[in-house]
Amino acid sequence: MKQKTMNLIRSGVCVILLFAAFAAEAQEKFYLSLQDAQEYALEHNRTLENASLEIKKAEAARWQAIASMMPQVTAGLDYANMMGYKMDFGAMVISMPPSASFTVTTAVALSGAQIVSTQVANISKHMADISFRKSGQEITNQVKVLYYSALVTEETLELLRENLESMKKLHSISQRSVDVGVSEQTAADQLKVQVATMESSINATERSLEMVYNSLRLQLNLDVNSEIELTQGIPELMNVDAVSDLLREEFDVNNNYNYKLLKAGTDLAKKQIALTGWSGGPTFSIFHQYAKKHYFSDEMTMNMTPPNMLGIAVKVPLFTSLRNTKSVQAARISYQKQLNTLADTEAALKIQHRQLVYNLKSALEQYRTQKENVEVARRVFDNIALKYEYGVASALDVTNSGTTLIVAQNGYVQSLLQIVNAQISLEQLLNR
């Protein structure tokens, strides 16, 4: 019995292990180029989905405004019971038997405020559309930054691992020299500390890389356990000539999404003046009513309900104690403030363009300098490492040159990210 129980337990464990292995194997893996990642984000990102829903919401509001000017049809069915009451006119008594009434009313009401409300709804829909495209631009730019960040971090890891292998090799050589009594233990210890420092840097960089991938998963709306493999590298994506072309592109403020959105808001503020003014304007309405009344009795009754009735009305507010006048005045002030904000924004965007061009130029210059600096630092380190192997250089020289190389590599990596950030900022401003 005991052996049978153990066999069942082993079988259950095997089943669980097989299921876990199958689940791990079934985990979806994504092979993404930069364009693939951006397109996937545009299709699955929830922020963009919400922006799309805002367009539908604005469209619904627009049709609400249009529908308010269309004919409105209502139907009614009423039942009344006078509980046997009769109208006594002396010589004549009229019964009031139970009755049912059916009415259909068609009405149309028009005012200037309704027309302006439709125009306001059109502008609101236009603003929602601009916000949607702006959100799409921001998402693709964020994906681009994360994509480059992942590539740069992976390149940093590769450089650190190369440095670690070189330092381990030198430490091994130093330790052998100590073992045979050629050099002192302190020299080997210095290199050992350098090795430990590099290993710690590699671990920290690996954690940073995982954070970047998690941010990318969030933008793509992927499961946290989804595996991502980037199919493009920095040499393929980093086109310095294409980046330099941005410096020569003219800036048209009307193409900028922020300016478009603010300009549409200014148009909306202008329409609010008309909307406020027409709120005190006349209202024209016309209606037609069809009515049918039926008495549940054969007695003589008095039916005073006409089968058809047509009505026309015009209502004009005569006195509102300056309420409408002050409302229009407040709307005009809001519109003037919006015009001032629009002018300030236009000036600020032009200054921002000049600054972003300057930032991109500086980033390109820094990139070229740091790239050359890494090459020089690598040659110096390799030269000192070779000298150390032959006993010409000290462990301190190796440590210093290794530190210099790491600093140069970090500067190179940062210069790559600076180019990407400067490029994206300028492209976003130019609406590229």
pTM: 0.76
Residue 429: C-alpha distances to residues 128, 161, 366 (Å):
19, 38, 22
* Amino acid 21: pLDDT: 42
Q: Which two tokens stand for residue 235?
A: 């040499």
Domain boundaries, the chain: 29-69+113-281+322-430
* Amino acid 77: pLDDT: 94
- The three-class DSSP label of residue 57 is helix
* Amino acid 15: pLDDT: 46
Cβ contacts of residue 52 below 8 Å, gap of 6+? 132
- The three-class DSSP label of residue 56 is helix
Residue 221: C-alpha distances to residues 40, 44, 121, 207, 395 (Å):
9, 6, 32, 21, 50
* Amino acid 182: pLDDT: 61
**DSSP H helical ranges for 279-393:** 323-389
* Amino acid 348: pLDDT: 94
* Amino acid 417: pLDDT: 86
**Contact between 232 and 187 (Cβ < 8 Å):** no
- The three-class DSSP label of residue 78 is strand
* Amino acid 146: pLDDT: 92
Cβ contacts of residue 4 below 8 Å, gap of 6+? none
Overall size of the chain counted in residues: 432
Residues of the chain falling short of pLDDT 70 = 1-27, 181-183, 300
* Amino acid 22: pLDDT: 42
Q: Which of 215, 233, 213, 156 is nearest to 29 (CA)?
A: 213
* Amino acid 244: pLDDT: 79
Q: Which two tokens stand for residue 194?
A: 């350098």
Q: Tell the CATH topology of 29-69+113-281+322-430.
A: Outer membrane efflux proteins (OEP) (1.20.1600)
* Amino acid 261: pLDDT: 92
* Amino acid 7: pLDDT: 54
* Amino acid 235: pLDDT: 81
- Indicate the helix (H) or strand (E) that contains 294: strand 283-295
Query: In degrees to the nearest 10, what's the CA dihedral of 181, 183, 186, 189?
Result: -90
* Amino acid 400: pLDDT: 85
